[in-house]
Amino acid sequence: MGKGGGGGLAFLNKKSWHTGGFKQIEEVWKREAQAENEKKKIEELTKQIDEERKQEEMMGVASSAGIVQRTERLEFMYRGVMATKQPEVVQTGDDTMNQPFQMKEDDKKLKKMETKQAPGALFLDDTPKSMNEQWARLNNDPMLMIKQMEMERLKHVKNNPVKMAQIKKEVEELRAKKKAKKEAKKEAKKAKKEAKKAKKEAKK
């Protein structure tokens, strides 16, 4: 007989194919799966936060480029959507104010956004697919990309005095060349006119 309280068959628990071993493997697998799920949730949340930050930056550039309205309009839009989904009662001392919130003119603007007829309407879609499509469309807008490049260049120039001086010099040289070309063209035109006049007088 084997030693210990487990009896002669205790060694079987150490075998991977034994039922005891299966339970241990299952527990380990569950813990690993749970840890993996938590990791994925954290990664998704981090990605979402990063994506929202990028969208906020892009919307700021779009607002500067005149493609979308200012932040105040966007804030109204979010408030309007929440107000239509969850009407609230304003608690004040005035009985006329103790009524569900009504938007009137703002409601018309919201309806325009719902029918995709106003800037910012893309944010009314709840589906990630629609958001991604609209985001890609906005992100690939040539005007927006040009504006973003200009802003990035301006940012680098402001932070680099040497680069700023270099660009300033290049601009001055370009202006000087443009001015010289304009003056040369003007002189050539004047000379041609005088030659034509002299030729006309010679025929008399």
pLDDT (tens digit, 9 = 90+) per residue, 19-49? 556 777 888 888 888 888 888 888 888 888 8
Q: What is the pLDDT of residue 193?
A: 86
The domain of 98 spans 69-140
Average pLDDT over residues 66-71: 53
Number of neighbours of residue 123 by Cβ within 10 angstroms: 19
Domain assignment of residue 195, yes or no = yes
**Domain co-membership, 81 together with 136:** yes
**Domain co-membership, 136 together with 78:** yes
When divided into structural domains, the chain yields a total of 3
Q: What are the pLDDT digits (tens) for 142-173?
A: 777 777 777 777 777 677 777 767 777 888 88
**Domain co-membership, 130 together with 173:** no
Domain assignment of residue 108, yes or no = yes
Copy the structure tokens of residue 28: 């380990």
Cβ-contact 26, 34 below 8 angstroms: no
Of 21-25, 58-62, 71-75, 200-204, the poorest mean pLDDT is in: 71-75
**Domain co-membership, 93 together with 134:** yes
Domain assignment of residue 183, yes or no = yes
